[in-house]
Amino acid sequence: MWIGDLKTLDECSLLSKRDIEQVRRFFQENDLQKLEFGTYTLSRNNFVNVFEYSTEKNNGLYEAHKKYVDIHYVIAGEEKVFYAQNFSKIKQDYDENDDAYLGMVDDEKSISLSSVKIIIFDINEPHKAGVVLNGSSLVKKAVFKMERDRNA
């Protein structure tokens, strides 16, 4: 996991220089406040989903991915994001179409996420976003999906 912002993104070892350039270009070329909900292609293997939801209580079910590194950026609103190093129990096996598997964790930590901060989860890192921080909040979010280089 990595936490930072656009200014310090170059320090993130979870992303290639090409991935960092794609993320920066997306931020430079788009007014995120006005961006329509949907999926935007960054390259053949990378994309970003822009969506909105209301934060909820933590149900204890975490997700992780095997193919894509997740980059979470809150455009509007605020949320708490929980994370852990490993699953203690798998609740749903890996679904290749969604690139996700679900489970429970024993040793969770959390961070508050609002605009400016970026949090990046490597493959196989359990995380749970969209959790209430200071009361329910409507969150507009961009989640970048950067395919992990299998040759790295």
- pLDDT (tens digit per residue) in 49-107: 999 999 999 999 999 999 999 999 999 999 999 999 999 999 999 999 999 999 999 99
pTM score, whole prediction: 0.93
43 vs 20, 25, 47, 49, 152, CA distance in Å?
Answer: 12, 12, 7, 13, 18
Domain ranges of the chain: 2-147
Does 150 score more than 70 pLDDT? no
The token duo for 101 is: 């598997």
Question: Superfamily assignment of 2-147 in CATH?
Answer: YhcH/YjgK/YiaL (2.60.120.370)
Work out the number of other CB atoms within 10 angstroms of the CB of residue 7.
Answer: 9
Identify the pLDDT of residue 121. 97
What is the b/e burial string over 28-58, where b = at least 16 CB atoms within 10 angstroms of the residue's CB? eeeebeeeeeeeeebeeebbbebeeeebeee
**Residues forming beta bridges with residue 3, ordered by sequence position:** 119
- pLDDT (tens digit per residue) in 117-135: 999 999 999 999 999 998 8
Residue type, 143: V
